[in-house]
Amino acid sequence: MEKREHVRCLIVGSGPAGYTAAIYAARANLAPVEYCGLQPGGQLTQTTTVENFPGYPDGVEGTQMMDDLRRQAANFGTDLRDGVIVKADLGSRPFVLTTDDGKEIEADTVIIATGASAKYLGLEDEKKYNGLGVSACATCDGFFYRKRTVAVVGGGDTACEEAIYLAGLAKKVYMIVRKPYLRASDVMRRRVEKTDNIEILYEHNTLGLYGENGVEGAHVVKRKGEPDEERYDLPIDGFFLAIGHKPNSDVFKEWLETDETGYIKTIEGTPRTKIAGVFAAGDVADPHYRQAITAAASGCKAAIEADRYLQTLE
């Protein structure tokens, strides 16, 4: 039987949080090992130009920015590995984590940076136009739709927030809501209803998208399955999903506290979890901001906390 590998600092997941944690941990001589997951670089590898990350005055492609961070982590000595952590035992020390190929790793500290995945409708066109008009982050991509027409899918608080944000940039914002009402709180509903360039399309579903070199419109249906069902095309330039995110925390739920959605709970103001030596950084522990810059900052904090924790052991 293969002997377990022992590491001082194991980072699970990549993206801004994971790579930043790796940079700081490596510079602190923690010899970090980072398992980069199924999508090295995280959600930013699915976007196009990133304009709101400091240090890139002309913007940068999401894949390029993640490659820059990855190379920086590697240059300081991070052991970057492909693969996924599929099992975790955080009930004893050192912690034991198992990879998808059956390898067991003992770790003195663990930084969880597995991110969160945006929920999609499941349409093939969402994949076809990903980065070409389809987005799951208004704050990230709304700037590209100034004075244009966009649609936001969803009827909760997040969808309302996204619609209001986009209304400050776009010429027109449609909200595509499958129910005959908004699920959002009253205060958010009132804000949406008072915004002149937001139009709510109640009892609507999206059937698909169309366009030559990007999204030019959506195929929608009103009152689907009812006798007065109506199908038509809605001309838009951008299609924003706002139906929620799923934190990639399932492997750790047995051991850590999460909220009702699955976001890992941390001690307020820190990346520390209820288990000493285990830290959570980035979108897996952030239901509010979900930005590259906040994820990177939390990765920095997690690595510093891991170093401090190891010093107390020594």
Catalytic-labelled residue, pool 9, 36, 137, 160: 137
The answer to whether residue 79 is catalytic is no
Give the number of other CB atoms < 10 A from CB of residue 32.
30
- The count of other CB atoms within 10 Å of the CB of residue 6 is 11
Nearest to 16 by CA among 106, 145, 111, 104: 111
User: Alpha-carbon distance 221 to 230, whole Å?
Assistant: 6
Among 141, 237, 286, 307, the one annotated catalytic: 141
Alpha-carbon span 27 to 39, nearest angstrom: 25
24's enclosing H/E stretch is helix 15-27
Give the integer Cα–Cα distance in Å for 303 and 311.
Answer: 12
> Please, which residues have CB within 8 angstroms of residue 14's CB and are 6 or more apart in sequence?
34, 36, 37, 39, 40, 41, 42, 66, 70, 113
Is 137 labeled as catalytic in the residue annotation? yes
Per the residue annotation, which of 140, 286, 300, 307 is the catalytic one? 140
160 is catalytic: no
Catalytic residues: 137, 140-141
